[in-house]
Amino acid sequence: MHRVSIKDIAQKLNINPATVSKALRNKPDVSATLTEKIKLLADKMGYKVNAAGINLRSGKSKTIGLIIPEISMFFFPSILKAVEEIVHSKGYNLLILHSNDSVDREIENSEICANAGVEGILVSLTKETKDIEHFQELTYSGVPIIYFDKVLHNSYGHKVVIPGVTAAKTATEALLKNTTKQYPIIYGLFDDQRLSITEDRATGFKNVLDKASFKDIEQKLFFVSNSLEAENTVLDWWKKGIKPDSLFVMSDEILAGVVGAIKKLQLAIPTDLSVVAISDGYFSKFSHFDIPYVETSGYLLGKKATDLMFDLIKDPSIEVEEHFIKTAFIR
Amino acid sequence: MHRVSIKDIAQKLNINPATVSKALRNKPDVSATLTEKIKLLADKMGYKVNAAGINLRSGKSKTIGLIIPEISMFFFPSILKAVEEIVHSKGYNLLILHSNDSVDREIENSEICANAGVEGILVSLTKETKDIEHFQELTYSGVPIIYFDKVLHNSYGHKVVIPGVTAAKTATEALLKNTTKQYPIIYGLFDDQRLSITEDRATGFKNVLDKASFKDIEQKLFFVSNSLEAENTVLDWWKKGIKPDSLFVMSDEILAGVVGAIKKLQLAIPTDLSVVAISDGYFSKFSHFDIPYVETSGYLLGKKATDLMFDLIKDPSIEVEEHFIKTAFIR
DNA sequence: TTGACTTCCGCAAACGTTTGCGGAGAATTT
DNA sequence: AAATTCTCCGCAAACGTTTGCGGAAGTCAA
């Protein structure tokens, strides 16, 4: 019942715990014969290293913290897959904290990370987050922090993000190309306005339409806070007799609602409504109509962020900059 | 740069570390005035408790391990959400380990849990897992283990699962009711045959069809290992001119492939093919046709498993049994 | 005034691990 | 044979925290 420690092994062999410790880690200053004897007994006694002891002694935790605003079925699983893979391949553990889109919980989570002594933090911010003081404290104490996906643009720190402006531009340009009408109604459906990714994508969207002076476009931007609201927003348009010709959708989360609305309204795509999205590509597989989209990859995002994390652990002096993930237009 | 410890605070106030420790935890044997002074200074110095120290001293880790075979976009996120919520509400941390459907990695993961000194493990097994010796060792050492979703039926242990047999029965019965043909072709599409959930659902499926002697049914079971294979299997049927009337689909993972095939074949549902599934309900929202399904909830599964985990931590003598999650038929 | 209680803080030890140093003895070189 | 190097193991201390005990000073009642 009692957990076997190095001391127990040492006592049984009438030797010093330090020797056992060295032997188990194949240090050259223990003879081969003794090393083998120690390992054999350790195995027989069911010895497991005690992480707490190591952490205390070394002052390190071999743990990376991952703080996310929301656990969604879209982006998040692929991110996590990449992060988990890399983190464990490096012999580190992963501590997952979920902020539920609340700054207070985000602050709590940063404190949990601090207490746990994580050696690095990957964080995607909540919609509510207006400043990152609660992380700055950790930065000062030397813990590398990487902000990914949902970040604060006007803040200092390592960032890994989707190139939202250009992605939105590409998508909107595709939307324009498909529009044959002279006075098209083009709507953009976005997530919460406070999000950096919303800001980027809205900028790209407006940018393209504003420059498309050759057409008389009625453009409008709508901001919703979740899938359900997105669905209701689209339903509402049709209920009011407003029928946009084209729709830009900024993410899978929002697209899920749009697809739901399209289903209920029994719209033909792209005849009744032309849709372009920024997406991981799920809906091109699952829905019966084809939606052209700018493809983003959660996996690549997670991979780049985590790789950068370990680079930073090796060499904390790496230049602070904003990294972008490659995207591609899929039709 | 140096991390502030209790000792540092004690030194600064010329008092004993033990007193500081007590004060910070509001022990009654430190005067109110001194307690306040200590807390103030601790705050000012930026003191953070050192988890490693506490863990070592207490012999506990305040950590729960979650071992999963695969990070999927379907079931998994809702499970994780429930687990994360409860675990952190209890002041515990969550260690996520991903086996990638490999027994070897599952064994590694169990060892990581052992080394980390987790106080409990939630595990869903890989397809390859044939025995659970690697977990038994942990059980002996007093770590509660809960097997959820993908389990080994013929093994001893606390389990939380979907009632697969009855769920499949309900779904298959619905399939039968919709069938008007005299000689219907009814196919079942399943995940890897080694999985307990496959076994359960296949049993329920066969059970109902075998008893439906009033009709002359051509029934067949197909086993695939992922979404893509599911899609190819369905495509293959049509390529060969085989057109089942009804299709039972055992999970969202498989349903994703089926939906893809239906899209490519441009089948009308349920006219060309009648489909019933066991699902969390995603596709009823995302696909243009309606698929009746037996609803399962990853959230409820995660919640029940985690609740049981903490019950077990409180009282390890709780009777070992198999718990079932409620399901409902949605049309 | 004495005795019995409280209040409040210090002390020492322990959790498991690792590190650098020191030294006894063996092996090697001169 | 003496001097040098090597091999191998023990020793003590340290990481940060908490616990029970002991005791000094103060409070209260008889």
Minimum mean pLDDT range among B88-92, B288-292, B295-299? B288-292
Residues of A in contact with B59 (CB under 8 A): 3
- Looking at residues A14-39, what average pLDDT do you find? 95
pLDDT of residue B212: 80
Confidence category of residue A141, pLDDT binned at 50, 70, 90:
confident
Number of Cα atoms under 13 Å in the Cβ half of residue B150: 25
Closest nucleotide to B3, Cα to C1': D16
pLDDT in tens, A143-175: 999 999 999 999 999 999 999 999 999 999 999
Q: Is A229 on the interface with B (CB under 8 A)?
A: no
Measure in Å the smallest separation between the Cα of A44 and chain B Cα atoms: 13
Radius of gyration of chain B (CA): 26
- CB-based contact A56:B53 (threshold 8 Å): yes
Interface test with B, best of A48, A78, A118 (most B CBs within 10 A): A48
Share of chain B above pLDDT 90, in %: 87
Residue B1 reports pLDDT greater than 70: no
pLDDT of residue A214: 66
Closest nucleotide to B22, Cα to C1': D18
Residue A213 reports pLDDT greater than 80: no
Q: How far apart are CA B115 and CA A50, in angstroms?
A: 6
Which B residues 285-304 touch A at CB under 8 Å? 285-289
Chain C positions within 7 A of any protein Cβ atom are 7-22
Cβ <8 Å between B71 and A61 = no
Share of chain A above pLDDT 90, in %: 87
- Looking at residues B95-107, what average pLDDT do you find? 97
Measure in Å the smallest separation between the Cα of B3 and chain A Cα atoms: 8
Residues of B in contact with A134 (CB under 8 A): none
Measure in Å the smallest separation between the Cα of B76 and chain A Cα atoms: 8
Mean pLDDT of chain A: 94
- CB-based contact A18:A9 (threshold 8 Å): no
Interface test with A, best of B3, B48, B79 (most A CBs within 10 A): B48
Residue A232 reports pLDDT greater than 90: yes
Largest CA distance in chain B: 92
Residue B27 reports pLDDT greater than 80: yes
Task: Find the closest chain A residue to B47 by CA distance.
Answer: A115
pLDDT in tens, A233-282: 999 999 999 999 999 999 999 999 999 999 999 999 899 999 999 999 88
Residue B97 reports pLDDT greater than 80: yes
Which B residues 141-160 touch A at CB under 8 Å? 141-142
Q: How far apart are CA B199 and CA B222, in angstroms?
A: 12
Measure in Å the smallest separation between the Cα of A91 and chain B Cα atoms: 9
pLDDT of residue A215: 67
- Looking at residues B7-26, what average pLDDT do you find? 95
Distances (CA, A) of A75 to A124, A126, A282, B119: 12, 15, 10, 30
Residue B61 is nearest to which of A52, A59, A72, comparing CB atoms?
A: A52
Q: At what angle do helices A17-24 and A32-45 cross, to 10 degrees?
A: 90
Quote the Cα angle for A203-A251-A311, to 5°: 85
Mean pLDDT of chain B: 94
pLDDT of residue A288: 80
In the A/B pair of chains, how many CB contacts fall below 8 A?
A: 136
Interface test with B, best of A4, A67, A98 (most B CBs within 10 A): A98
Q: How far apart are CA B86 and CA B79, in angstroms?
A: 11
pLDDT of residue A137: 86
Q: What ranges make up the beta strands (E) of B262-321?
A: 274-279, 293-295
pLDDT in tens, B133-151: 999 989 988 899 999 999 9
Measure in Å the smallest separation between the Cα of A287 and chain B Cα atoms: 5
Token digits of residue B254: 């498989």
pLDDT of residue A38: 96
Q: How far apart are CA B303 and CA B320, in angstroms?
A: 18
Residue A35 reports pLDDT greater than 80: yes
Q: Measure A50 CA to D6 C1' (Å).
A: 33
Q: How far apart are CA A138 and CA A120, in angstroms?
A: 9
From the Cβ of A115, is strand D under 7 Å away?
A: no
Q: Measure A108 CA to C17 C1' (Å).
A: 30
Which of A274, A268, A266 is closest to A291 using CA atoms?
A274
pLDDT in tens, B52-93: 999 999 999 999 999 999 999 999 999 999 999 999 999 999
pLDDT of residue A182: 82
Cβ <8 Å between A61 and B84 = no
Number of Cα atoms under 13 Å in the Cβ half of residue A20: 23
SS3 of residue A48 by DSSP: coil
Cβ <8 Å between B52 and A48 = no
Quote the Cα angle for A328-A329-A330, to 5°: 115
Measure in Å the smallest separation between the Cα of A220 and chain B Cα atoms: 25
The rounded Cα A200 to chain-centroid distance in angstroms is 16
Cβ <8 Å between A98 and B85 = yes
Which ranges of B72-188 would DSSP assign to H, the alpha helix?
Answer: 75-89, 103-116, 133-140, 164-178
Which of A252, A259, A325, A243 is closest to A293 using CA atoms?
A252
- Looking at residues B18-28, what average pLDDT do you find? 95
- Looking at residues B115-119, what average pLDDT do you find? 94
What backbone torsions phi and psi does residue A150 show, to the nearest 5 degrees?
A: -95, 105
Interface test with A, best of B288, B297, B299 (most A CBs within 10 A): B288
**Residue B31 burial (CB count, 10 A):** 11
pLDDT of residue B215: 67
Cβ <8 Å between A48 and B98 = no
Residues of B in contact with A92 (CB under 8 A): none
Amino acid at residue number A208? V
Closest residue, by C-alpha, to the C1' of D18 = B57
Residue B96 is nearest to which of A94, A111, A117, comparing CB atoms?
A: A94
Q: Is A48 on the interface with B (CB under 8 A)?
A: yes
pLDDT in tens, A64-85: 999 999 999 999 999 999 999 9
Cβ <8 Å between B71 and A80 = yes
pLDDT of residue A145: 97
Q: Is A80 on the interface with B (CB under 8 A)?
A: yes
Q: Measure A8 CA to D9 C1' (Å).
A: 18
